[in-house]
């Protein structure tokens, strides 16, 4: 089952999360490290753990029936196919076969309100495939 963690955060809290992810060997999916100054601006980042496994992408033509009926994998295949159709030049990460996570930074909205940050590990079989992340 996938795991999700919402955390109320400020800039200082975001730095703690980045440190935790860096210590776990995470880097951005594009290969850039999780380093530098981070602004609490609500951005979303795709995170990869290369020491656990590679990033795998869906094929250019996704065959949904091969993923099973009404399974979490079939639902992900349908969503990936929709994203492929809407963004043909953007490869879609196969989260069930990749050691990846998502990170949404907290945001100080309208200079008045803090909006929570979020970390999620999307694979539906995380405990089976990536026990290191559990």
Q: Which residue has the tokens 């776990």?
A: 24
Question: 125 Cβ partners below 8 Å, 6+ apart?
Answer: 96
Helix H, strand E, coil C: the string for 2-57 is CEEEEECCCHHHHHHHHHHHHHCCCEECCCCECCCCCCCECCEEEEECCCCCCCCE
Model-level pTM? 0.76
Domain boundaries, the chain: 1-54+98-127, 57-92
* pLDDT tens-place values along the chain, 134 residues long: 567 777 667 777 778 888 888 888 899 998 888 887 777 788 898 999 888 888 999 998 887 777 777 788 888 888 899 999 999 888 899 988 888 989 988 888 888 888 888 888 887 666 666 666 55
* Per-residue tokens: 122: 């999307």
- Per the CB < 8 A criterion, the answer to whether 27 and 50 are in contact is yes
- Per the CB < 8 A criterion, the answer to whether 52 and 99 are in contact is yes
């Amino acid at each position: 089952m996938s795991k999700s963690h919402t955390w109320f955060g400020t800039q200082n809290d975001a730095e703690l999360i980045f440190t935790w992810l860096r210590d776990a060997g995470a880097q951005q999916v594009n290969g850039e490290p999780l380093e530098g100054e981070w602004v609490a601006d609500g951005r979303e980042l795709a995170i990869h753990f290369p020491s656990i496994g590679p990033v795998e992408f869906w094929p250019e033509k996704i065959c949904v029936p091969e993923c099973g009926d009404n399974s979490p994998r079939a639902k992900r295949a349908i969503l990936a196919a929709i994203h492929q159709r809407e963004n043909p030049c953007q490869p879609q990460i196969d989260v069930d076969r990749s050691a990846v996570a998502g990170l949404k930074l907290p945001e100080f909205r309208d200079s008045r309100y803090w909006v929570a940050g979020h970390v999620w590990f999307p694979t539906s079989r995380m405990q089976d495939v990536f026990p290191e992340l559990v």
